[in-house]
């Protein structure tokens, strides 16, 4: 009761100016102050009742919210996890067949897969190695611009430019990594944030090379192993005896990004079982202990940074070829934050979690498109709810990379975030 | 140079701004012996440890490590991870530093990182699934299993290290250090927080690994029972200076040590000091 009253009071303080008063253009054109105390009262009352209801529900169950889920259901869910992955991939593969005529959904699928791929890439850096990176969009941008510039200047094909974009992004990752990886935690986050902005500003101002704010247009579209997607006799449709349809290219792009995303995921899973992957996780758990065991933490961090950047670069190259036009606007901090949100909400280190988070966030965004005004509100509320009830993300448990007899899932509470400090 | 010395500490001084943590310390740890570093709280023991393992660089002084094979390393010139990798000095920490979210087995595999890294062709061969790496990993797992058996935790190999009881975590940290194949094992208060039975077991265990694996041990300890029983040689520090160095028996009877540990009444200070001066 008391808590509910406090919550209501806070809500009142917050909203009294936001909702209670409103300025409208009056009949003479001057602003007129109008009051909306009725709405304000409704909002405050809603907060009060909500807090009261929450307190009552919590009282019923007495204990952390986790316990409200019955044990049997939890066990069933964890048994389902491997099938869920398979089902998710299978669904992803069949999307273009089921929704062949729904261009909108196909595009959404492509965007989702792109973000899932970015999420997987960032997951290596943030989820496994525990290095908070707020400038991931920079690598995405470098991949995209590398692809666009190389493809336009040298006329090389998609399949040559794609790896080049990734390699260039990885190299940038290494260059950035050298000076900054001795920083930890928040400091590293700030520097990477700055780096992301620097890259964007360079792209914006280096008119001769990048076209500045006008961006680069006319980026070559990908071909089906040399067969362009067009209506000519040499096109994809004609060669395979199909009627030309622009959907062919969309479907091809969809499968391309899906393959790239799955490749990223596969490589990550594989790396986790190798010494380098275990060293990344050990680094996240305790850096000082790592050094005491003879692990060169600088190189280890650099590889994490470079590999994460490389996948970001691949995704960027794909983005460039899909859009056909890129400009610095596509690589703002919002982009980095969005990908980071996917990783954090999905559960750091979990592939399935990231994929689900990407699908839910982008799907949710689209779903709420009609309620334009409330979209951000719902999005924010969802974020807050996840952070309260699942602070380590949707799937926060950790699967050991190797086992003697039986693979036991490590509960989320034990999985450490990067610890800092000097040896004691 | 003294014959049989594995670690020679010469005139090591460590200053933190105005604070003199270690002052002109020299001592020797002999091959295959257990050397204990003792002293009251704040005597600079852990600082010495951090200098030996490279986490601090001494302000002045030299730390020479000589392998039984003859290779010699100047520890003050190496970064900490190379001291562990090349000079093969392994250490544990006063407040246990395990990889809590990883299983016991994973903890011991991380300790074998450098060997496995080479076997995995610096990740490239491993990523392609080479046979050589699979073999190396199987060997590493066998080694981990051996050490887990030694500390009686084989049954919990697949549990998270953070879920272990404290005593078991201490033992795990010691065997994790052993998995790096050290020539010198540095233990920072291995018996802290253990009950009597556990420290007796620890003594036995340390003796056993010293004898079977031909390593030298340097340890910091507060528990005098453990120290007296286990060490071949004891170095006593007080206010960053060495006040005694010798066999457990000699150190136990040293009035300086008694004064440092038990303290003396003000009236007796002069007599003790006179005695000490003699």
CA distances from A108 to A202, A253, A365 (A): 30, 12, 10
pLDDT above 60: residue A403: yes
For residue B270, the model assigns a pLDDT of 64
The span from the CA of B185 to the CA of B248, in Å, is 20
Joined tokens for residue A22? 């409103």
The answer, for A179 touching chain B at a CB cutoff of 8 Å, is no
Asked if B81 lies within 8 A of A408 by C-beta distance, the reply is no
Q: Are strands B233-238 and B34-38 parallel, antiparallel or unpaired?
A: parallel
Give pLDDT tens digits for B16-61: 888 888 888 888 888 888 998 888 888 888 888 888 888 888 888 8
Among A1-5, A126-130, A278-282, A417-421, the range of highest mean pLDDT: A278-282
Cα A36 from chain centroid?
Answer: 39
3-class DSSP state for residue A244? coil
Banded pLDDT at A167 (limits 50, 70, 90): very high
Q: Which residue has the tokens 């273009």?
A: A96
pLDDT above 60: residue B173: yes
Banded pLDDT at B82 (limits 50, 70, 90): confident
Kindly report the average pLDDT of chain B as a whole number: 83
Joined tokens for residue B6? 């594995």
pLDDT above 60: residue A206: yes
The span from the CA of A296 to the CA of B156, in Å, is 29
Q: Stretch A156-171: mean pLDDT, rounded?
A: 87
For residue A119, the model assigns a pLDDT of 92
What A111-115 contacts at long range (C-beta under 8 Å, 24+ apart), as own/partner pairs, is A111/A362, A112/A358, A112/A359, A112/A362, A112/A363, A113/A254, A113/A257, A113/A258, A113/A260, A113/A261, A113/A358, A114/A257, A114/A261, A114/A315, A114/A318, A114/A319, A114/A322, A115/A338, A115/A339, A115/A342, A115/A358, A115/A361, A115/A362
- B14 pairs with which residues across the strands? B22
At a CB cut-off of 8 Å and minimum separation 6, what does A253 contact?
A: A110, A222, A318, A322
Lowest mean pLDDT among A235-239, B63-67, B174-178: A235-239
Cα B109 from chain centroid?
Answer: 20
Kindly report the nearest CA distance between residue B217 and chain A, in angstroms: 16
For residue A184, the model assigns a pLDDT of 72
The span from the CA of A267 to the CA of A307, in Å, is 10
Banded pLDDT at B164 (limits 50, 70, 90): confident
Lowest mean pLDDT among A129-138, A165-174, A297-306, A362-371: A362-371
The span from the CA of A357 to the CA of A377, in Å, is 18
At a CB cut-off of 8 Å and minimum separation 6, what does A77 contact?
A: none
The span from the CA of B239 to the CA of B19, in Å, is 11
Exposed, middle or buried by CB within 10 Å (0-12, 13-18, 19+), for A270?
A: middle
For residue B246, the model assigns a pLDDT of 86
Where is pLDDT greater, at A302 or B119? Answer: A302
Where is pLDDT greater, at B266 or B68? Answer: B68
At a CB cut-off of 8 Å and minimum separation 6, what does A310 contact?
A: A121, A139, A166, A167, A169, A170, A173
Where is pLDDT greater, at A63 or A27? Answer: A27
pLDDT above 50: residue A70: yes
How many other CB atoms are there within 10 angstroms of residue A16's CB atom?
Answer: 14
Kindly report the nearest CA distance between residue A394 and chain B, in angstroms: 17
* Phi–psi pair at A409, nearest 5 degrees: -75, 130
For residue A417, the model assigns a pLDDT of 47
Asked if A404 lies within 8 A of B123 by C-beta distance, the reply is no
Q: Nearest Cβ partner of B100 from A271, A407, A416? A: A416
Domains in chain A: boundaries: 2-62, 83-389
Asked if B80 lies within 8 A of A292 by C-beta distance, the reply is yes
Joined tokens for residue A41? 């009262």
Give pLDDT tens digits for B109-146: 888 888 888 777 666 666 776 777 888 888 888 888 89
Banded pLDDT at B155 (limits 50, 70, 90): confident
Domains of chain B, each with CATH number or no CATH: 1-88+181-278 (3.40.50.300), 100-179 (no CATH)
Question: A49, A68, A72: which is closest to A59 by C-alpha?
Answer: A68
Question: Contact, B173 vs B92, CB < 8 A?
Answer: yes
**Contacts of residue A411 in chain B, CB cutoff 8 Å?**
160
Give pLDDT tens digits for A89-130: 888 777 777 777 777 888 888 888 899 999 999 989 988 888
CA angle B122, B125, B130 (to 5 degrees): 140
- Supply the pTM of this predicted model: 0.81
Among A20-29, B139-148, B263-272, the range of highest mean pLDDT: B139-148
Question: B106, B115, B147, B138: which is closest to A280 by C-alpha?
Answer: B106
Banded pLDDT at A421 (limits 50, 70, 90): very low
Q: Stretch A296-317: mean pLDDT, rounded?
A: 91
Asked if A292 lies within 8 A of B53 by C-beta distance, the reply is yes
Q: Which residue has the tokens 């003479």?
A: A28
Cα A37 from chain centroid?
Answer: 40
Q: Stretch A6-34: mean pLDDT, rounded?
A: 76
Kindly report the nearest CA distance between residue B219 and chain A, in angstroms: 14
Sort residue A70 into left (φ over 0), alpha (ψ -120 to 50) or beta.
beta
Where is pLDDT greater, at A31 or A264? Answer: A264
Question: Contact, A423 vs B55, CB < 8 A?
Answer: yes
Which residues numbered 384-423 in A keep a CB inside 8 Å of some CB on B? Answer: 398, 400-408, 410-411, 414-416, 422-423
Asked if B110 lies within 8 A of A278 by C-beta distance, the reply is yes
CA distances from B256 to A363, A364, B23, B246, B250 (A): 75, 74, 17, 13, 11
Kindly report the average pLDDT of chain A as a whole number: 80
pLDDT above 50: residue B74: yes
The answer, for A182 touching chain B at a CB cutoff of 8 Å, is no
Sort residue B255 into left (φ over 0), alpha (ψ -120 to 50) or beta.
alpha
Give pLDDT tens digits for B197-246: 888 888 888 888 888 888 899 998 877 777 888 888 998 888 888 888 88
Question: Contact, B147 vs B108, CB < 8 A?
Answer: yes
Asked if A422 lies within 8 A of B94 by C-beta distance, the reply is no
CA angle B220, B221, B224 (to 5 degrees): 145
The span from the CA of A90 to the CA of B64, in Å, is 61
The span from the CA of A365 to the CA of A359, in Å, is 10
How many other CB atoms are there within 10 angstroms of residue A305's CB atom?
Answer: 26
Give pLDDT tens digits for A258-288: 999 999 989 988 888 888 889 998 988 888 8
- B188 pairs with which residues across the strands? B220
Q: Which residue has the tokens 């100047």?
A: B74
Q: Stretch A3-20: mean pLDDT, rounded?
A: 79
Give pLDDT tens digits for A374-400: 767 777 787 787 777 776 777 767 777
Joined tokens for residue A265? 């995921």
Most A CBs within 10 Å, among B81, B107, B127, to test the A interface: B81
For residue A66, the model assigns a pLDDT of 52
């Amino acid at each position: 009761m008391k808590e509910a009253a406090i919550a209501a009071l806070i809500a009142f303080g917050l909203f009294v100016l936001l909702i209670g008063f409103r300025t409208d253009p009056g009949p003479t054109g001057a602003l007129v102050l109008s009051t909306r105390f009725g709405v304000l009262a409704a909002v405050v009352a809603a907060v009060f009742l909500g807090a009261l209801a929450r307190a009552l529900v919590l009282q019923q169950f007495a204990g952390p919210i986790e316990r409200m889920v019955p044990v049997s259901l939890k066990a069933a869910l964890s048994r389902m996890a491997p099938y869920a992955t398979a089902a998710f991939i299978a669904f992803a593969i069949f999307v273009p067949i089921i929704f062949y005529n729904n261009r909108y959904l196909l595009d959404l699928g492509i965007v989702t897969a792109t973000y899932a791929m970015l999420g997987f890439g960032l997951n290596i850096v943030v989820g496994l190695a525990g290095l908070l990176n707020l400038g991931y969009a920079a690598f995405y941008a470098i991949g995209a611009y590398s692809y666009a510039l190389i493809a336009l200047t040298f006329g090389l094909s998609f399949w040559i430019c794609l790896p080049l974009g990734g390699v260039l992004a990885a190299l940038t990752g290494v260059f950035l990594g050298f000076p900054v990886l001795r920083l930890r935690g928040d400091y590293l986050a700030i520097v990477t944030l700055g780096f992301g902005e620097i890259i964007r500003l360079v792209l914006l101002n280096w008119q001769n090379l990048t076209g500045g704010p006008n961006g680069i247009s006319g980026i070559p579209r990908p071909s089906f192993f040399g067969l362009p997607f067009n209506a000519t006799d040499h096109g994809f449709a004609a060669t395979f005896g199909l009627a030309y349809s622009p959907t062919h290219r969309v479907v091809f792009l969809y499968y391309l990004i899906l393959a790239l995303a799955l490749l990223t995921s596969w490589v990550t899973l594989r790396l986790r079982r190798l010494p380098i992957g275990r060293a990344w996780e050990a680094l996240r758990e305790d850096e000082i202990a790592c050094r005491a065991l003879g692990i060169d933490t600088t190189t280890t961090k650099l590889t994490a940074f470079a590999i994460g950047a490389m996948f970001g670069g691949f995704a960027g190259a794909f983005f460039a070829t899909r859009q056909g036009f890129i400009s610095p606007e596509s690589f703002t901090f919002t982009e980095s934050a969005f990908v980071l949100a996917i990783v954090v909400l999905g559960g750091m280190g979990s592939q399935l979690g990231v994929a689900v988070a990407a699908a839910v966030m982008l799907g949710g965004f689209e779903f709420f498109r009609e309620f334009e005004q409330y979209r951000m509100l719902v999005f924010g509320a969802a974020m807050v709810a996840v952070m309260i009830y699942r602070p380590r993300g949707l799937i926060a448990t950790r699967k050991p990379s190797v086992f003697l007899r039986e693979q036991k899932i490590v509960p989320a509470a034990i999985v450490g975030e990067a610890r800092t400090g000097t040896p004691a | 140079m003294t014959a049989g010395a594995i670690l020679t500490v010469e005139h090591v001084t460590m200053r933190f701004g105005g604070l003199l943590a270690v002052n002109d310390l020299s001592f020797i740890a002999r091959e295959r012996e257990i050397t204990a570093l003792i002293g009251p709280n704040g005597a600079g023991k852990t600082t010495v440890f951090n200098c030996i393992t490279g986490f601090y660089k001494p302000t002045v002084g030299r730390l020479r490590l000589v392998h039984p094979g003859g290779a010699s390393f100047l520890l003050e010139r190496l970064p900490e991870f190379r001291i562990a990798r090349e000079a093969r000095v392994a250490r544990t920490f006063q407040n246990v530093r395990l990889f809590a979210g990883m299983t016991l087995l994973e903890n011991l595999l991380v300790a074998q990182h450098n060997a496995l890294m080479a076997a995995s062709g610096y990740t490239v061969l491993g990523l392609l699934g080479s046979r050589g790496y699979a073999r190396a990993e199987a060997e590493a797992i066998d080694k981990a299993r051996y050490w887990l058996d030694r500390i009686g935790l084989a049954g919990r190999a697949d549990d998270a290290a953070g879920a272990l009881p404290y005593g078991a975590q201490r033992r795990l940290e010691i065997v994790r250090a052993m998995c790096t194949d050290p020539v010198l094992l540095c233990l920072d208060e291995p018996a802290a927080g253990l009950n009597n039975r556990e420290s007796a077991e620890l003594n036995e265990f340390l003796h056993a690994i010293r004898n079977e694996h031909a390593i030298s041990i340097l340890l910091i300890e507060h528990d005098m029972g453990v120290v007296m029983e286990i060490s071949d040689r004891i170095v006593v520090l007080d206010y960053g200076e060495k006040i005694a160095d010798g066999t457990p028996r000699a150190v136990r009877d040293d009035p300086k040590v008694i004064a440092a540990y038990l303290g003396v009444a003000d009236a007796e200070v002069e007599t003790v000091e006179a005695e000490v001066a003699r």
